[in-house]
Amino acid sequence: MKYIVITLSLALALFSTTSRADQVCGDTGVWVQILGAGGPEIDDGAAGPSYVIWNDNKARIIIDTGPGSSVGFDQSGAKFEDLYAIAYTHLHADHSVDFPAFIKGSYFLDRTEPLIVLGPDSNNPNYPDTDTFVNRLIGPDGAYAYLQDFLTQKSSGGYRVRVRNVPSLGKKRWAGFGNDELRMSAIPVNHADVPALAWRVDIGEMSVVITGDFNNLKNVMPEFAKDADALIATHAIAENARGNQRELHALPSQLGRIAQQADARMLVLSHRMNRTRGRESQSRAEIEKSYDGYILFADDGECWGL
């Protein structure tokens, strides 16, 4: 039965992605939408990594806010007022730079509930923890200091931004955010020296796992992503990658093994870069050596029903 459900969901998603302006998610159930499927390049024709988790036609969680994601959010029809949280896998510019755009844009809306911002802590002086990152952008001494009252109870925007650092070292699973509708959890992953997390969102019986950028050195993903309905993974390097690329990212063959060990229903390949675009058949072949589930190559705006 689950294969019938997946097939119908994929058909609905494909039907809804004929053009960017027409791309919408379903009215009921859990959906994951790709606001940005690109990477750090500015010649790949895609927005930076960003994902929205929908439940019953409400956008509830954003994971990462790469360049262009605020535009994609607008085009998706999502309402900022419906969001519970924005979470970050890590704070490289290609995953986080649109954060001030979301906050500034929300000034003109009617949000009243606090917005939770979650992301990695840090002991690396080259990478701030998430609380420091937010303050350097919209705090009193930040680049956009005029937005500082969003961090206070007297916010002129009508709501307060609350930031929480999440442990980015070790193998312990963090599960410090949730409500009656959903639960979020995170686990540290290895992205060279960059503090980084993978995220899991569980809504009812459905689950979405987003790896972010990682090289699988700790091999924590199979257990963390166990029985995920959608495993969204970074597809930034080809199978023949060498050197520094492999210190930062997992190979397609590794992603296949992870998805199979996790028994994920579908593997969605995002954060696609020029060095992997055009090599989809090669990557698929490597993944299929281990994984027998659905393999999808993400594009901006697509929305997949679970």
Read off the DSSP letter of residue 226: T
pLDDT averaged over the chain? 92
What's the Cα-to-Cα distance from 177 to each of 98, 154, 226, rounded to whole Å?
23, 24, 19
DSSP structure class, residue 77: T
- For 39, residues 6+ apart whose C-beta sits below 8 A from its C-beta are 46, 48, 49, 94, 236, 271, 272, 273
The per-residue DSSP string of 13-62 comes to: HHHTTSSGGG----SSSEEEEEEE---S-SSSSSPPSEEEEEETTEEEEE
The SS3 call for residue 105 is: helix
Is the domain covering 2-305 a CATH 3.60.15.10 domain? yes
Q: Which residue has the higher pLDDT, 29 or 12?
A: 29
In order of 52, 70, 180, 235, 293, the CA distances from 133 in angstroms are 21, 18, 29, 26, 38
Does residue 3 surpass a pLDDT of 60?
no
Predicted confidence (pLDDT) per residue in 106-154, tens digit: 999 999 999 999 999 999 989 999 999 999 999 999 999 999 999 998 8
Q: To the nearest 10°, report the CA torsion of 76, 269, 191, 264.
A: 100
- pTM, rounded to two decimals: 0.92
| Cα gap 40→47, rounded to integer Å | 9
- Model pLDDT for residues 38-54, shown as the tens digit of each residue: 999 999 999 999 999 99
Residue type at 286 in one-letter notation: E
